[in-house]
Structure 1
């Protein structure tokens, strides 16, 4: 470690360039991980707040809530604990802002209602609780909302914790309000039944219905899987690029020091000791680059607008940082193999 650190101090520019490249790679890597996590949250945060085990849908709905319609008697009260979920898409405007949203028809005391952070729950028809995504976009308690597809007027009486569903903000109201906006959803119809029952698989349903585990349901949300795969591929390629860049830089530096390694071998330094020097240099470079990249990422996160879906998971950041250091060490193996082949007599000349 002593020899590795002293060489780096004497060649600040050379090793500084490698560290600079690693900083940029780690910065991009951590930002992408935050973006991936943020996009995941946008799609599933509302569903996660249900703490549900399964959801019952019409078999022909392709696991999509809005396309699923069935008689509520077919599944209601079948499970230990369940509640009806009615859903329709709406375009709402308060006269200043216009937003696409989802309107959920729910029971106000059901587990589908997230925690209220401002105002109160709906108590009568045409009152809604909006998730805080709409609050951040300029909507407020008391706003009268007009709808593009209906003459009904809605009033915001409260805001809940952020509860986006498939990247859309959500409005919560009673079943009658949703029925007035979407006449197809009559009193005896529902889009879904959300289930809290660990033994949901043991219950038999009508042949027209299917019960889906909540995680499987989330994975099949439109665009969810493709989006995650794309970002994960990008992160994987960044790891590969990191190992390649470190490997190339260190390999070039090793070739430049062939004579020096020959002299050191002639003086009795073993291949194992010289390999430790290279690994130590790589570890120091990777550690400095990763830490600075992480610091820049967290600093950037403080200034990003709320419209950017970034969410940093401390555990994920630590894991990615460790993996980045490890792949950098793997990239240095080419240099170690080159050192082993150095012939002291030939190197000295």
Structure 2
């Protein structure tokens, strides 16, 4: 160490230039790492911070939340597969119950503040207000369990001028909500998250595209050559042969092609009349036909090809996107084996299903990897050139009795001293830049990220000096002194 420090002091300019190169490389590595972490959080922090271990998605969703559609039946099957009582509300169970499973609704949209035309991208997350998926409120309060017009917003909405008590309007459904609380670290696909309960979610679905016969319909009704779609909320939209007269009742009834009573009785024109009320899960039996598991059949080929679930706990009467639960890998395997038509994935797999997440992170991680490789080569070349210039000095030192180990330790001491000094400056510069970056810049640094990057940088620096160490070990004292003479 004594020899290393004396040489650093003697050749200040040479080693300051090397140190400057190391500072710039360390700074660039840390900055790109912070950018990668920030983009990751901005894209998926709502999933990363979710109090769950696994997500259950529709088998045909390609592990994408936005493509998945599940019903209350799937939720009950998951809870039964986990050994939980499907008939018991999750709010009545102990919060530490690892068998707890809850529905999750996800809908990307845009909102406007009341009295303003400026649209703000947002993603609605439907959760049980008192469940495990409810976000931690940092300001204000949590939404009420039955309040259909309240929302908890991510704190990034404050940058748009929103505050507690403001009213926002969802551009997809036209529903208005009052901001009653703010949360931290809740974003999805680079848009801030608005948390609502399933009372609000049901009204949104009833007013949204699914209620208009678009995607998300869970059944069809055909009659005399015409078809109509049954929405998630139970509405029927008619095409040609079927005319819708009213929304579905709370217990799954529907009105179409004539008259449908509030209890689910169906009477169709042209002599087709219903003879029974709808069942508990939304099914109905019409004259001249039979129904099973929610199917609606009638003389004259009036049939439903899907199910309409009745109102129930946890949003069982609407379509949601996923079921989140806490448990071990064996529990996840049991759910996957017992529940048909679903995929059970971890949160890490769910992150990869977010559009652009895998590609974005893959590109940045490749950049960081190449920066470390470049750093190793640059440092190796610098120290090897310096070592070659000092071959004669090493020969003299070996001739007077210096051991190879002593010379190797001296070289490593130089490398580590320069690396630590450069890292300290690089870290200070990175934090200084992050302090002046705008809030809209997705940049995030934490101790584990900085510590891991610094440790890897030191390893790369030492690896880059191995070529120089090999050259020092091979120095022949007589040959070196002979060249010097």
Write out per-residue CA displacement over residues 172-195 of structure 1, whole angstroms, 9 at most, x where no aligned residue. 223233224425242342222222
1:145-156 matches, within 5 Å, as 145-156=168-179
CA distance in 2, matches of 1:144, 1:74: 34
Aligned residues: 349
Q: Residue 91 of structure 1: CA displacement?
A: 1.0
CA distance in 1, matches of 2:414, 2:6: 10
CA distance in 1, matches of 2:416, 2:342: 56
Q: 1:292 aligns with which of 383, 404, 425?
A: 425
Kindly name which structure, 1 or 2, has the bigger radius of gyration based on alpha carbons: 2
Compared with structure 1, are the counterparts of its residues 287 and 165 closer, same or farther at alpha carbon in structure 2 (3 Å cutoff)? same
Give the TM-score, by structure 2 length: 0.67
Indicate the SS of the match to 1:118. Answer: strand
Tell me whether 1:195 sits opposite 2:325 in the alignment.
yes
> Residues 104 and 178 of structure 1 are in contact (CA less than 8 Å); yes or no, is this contact kept in structure 2?
no
Tell me whether 1:308 sits opposite 2:441 in the alignment.
yes
> Residues 150 and 181 of structure 1 are in contact (CA less than 8 Å); yes or no, is this contact kept in structure 2?
yes
Compared with structure 1, are the counterparts of its residues 347 and 274 closer, same or farther at alpha carbon in structure 2 (3 Å cutoff)? farther
Superposed CA RMSD: 2.2
Indicate the SS of the match to 1:237. Answer: helix
Q: 1:179 aligns with which of 175, 197, 205?
A: 205
1:22-101 matches, within 5 Å, as 22-76=22-76, 78-79=78-79, 80=84, 81-94=100-113, 95=116, 97-101=118-122
Structure 1 residue aligned with 2:457: 324
Q: Residue 165 of structure 1: CA displacement?
A: 2.1
Compared with structure 1, are the counterparts of its residues 274 and 217 closer, same or farther at alpha carbon in structure 2 (3 Å cutoff)? same
Give the TM-score, by structure 1 length: 0.91
Indicate the SS of the match to 2:454. Answer: helix
The answer for unaligned runs of 5 or more in structure 2 is 85-99, 211-231, 234-316
Structure 1 residue aligned with 2:135: 114
In terms of mean alpha carbon deviation, does 206-215 or 28-37 score higher? 206-215
Indicate the SS of the match to 1:156. Answer: strand
Structure 1 residue aligned with 2:255: none
Ranges of 4+ aligned residues in structure 1 off by more than 6 Å:
none
> Residues 262 and 348 of structure 1 are in contact (CA less than 8 Å); yes or no, is this contact kept in structure 2?
no
Q: Residue 82 of structure 1: CA displacement?
A: 1.6
CA distance in 2, matches of 1:86, 1:315: 32
Q: Residue 296 of structure 1: CA displacement?
A: 1.7
Compared with structure 1, are the counterparts of its residues 42 and 17 closer, same or farther at alpha carbon in structure 2 (3 Å cutoff)? same
Higher helix share: 1
CA distance in 1, matches of 2:192, 2:405: 59
Q: Residue 277 of structure 1: CA displacement?
A: 1.9
Compared with structure 1, are the counterparts of its residues 241 and 249 closer, same or farther at alpha carbon in structure 2 (3 Å cutoff)? same
Structure scoring higher RCO (CA < 8 A, sep ≥ 6) equals: 1
CA distance in 2, matches of 1:332, 1:323: 14
CA distance in 2, matches of 1:158, 1:55: 26
CA distance in 1, matches of 2:341, 2:72: 12
1:158-237 matches, within 5 Å, as 158-173=181-196, 174-184=200-210, 185-186=232-233, 187-198=317-328, 199-203=331-335, 204-237=337-370
Q: Residue 323 of structure 1: CA displacement?
A: 2.1
Q: Residue 2 of structure 1: CA displacement?
A: 0.8
> Residues 286 and 325 of structure 1 are in contact (CA less than 8 Å); yes or no, is this contact kept in structure 2?
yes
Structure 1 residue aligned with 2:481: 345
The answer for unaligned runs of 5 or more in structure 1 is none
Structure 2 residue aligned with 1:14: 14
CA distance in 2, matches of 1:344, 1:100: 70
Q: 1:135 aligns with which of 153, 158, 171?
A: 158
> Residues 57 and 63 of structure 2 are in contact (CA less than 8 Å); yes or no, is this contact kept in structure 1?
yes
Indicate the SS of the match to 2:359. Answer: helix
Compared with structure 1, are the counterparts of its residues 91 and 17 closer, same or farther at alpha carbon in structure 2 (3 Å cutoff)? same
Write out per-residue CA displacement over residues 143-190 of structure 1, whole angstroms, 9 at most, x where no aligned residue. 222343343333322212231123321112232332244252423422
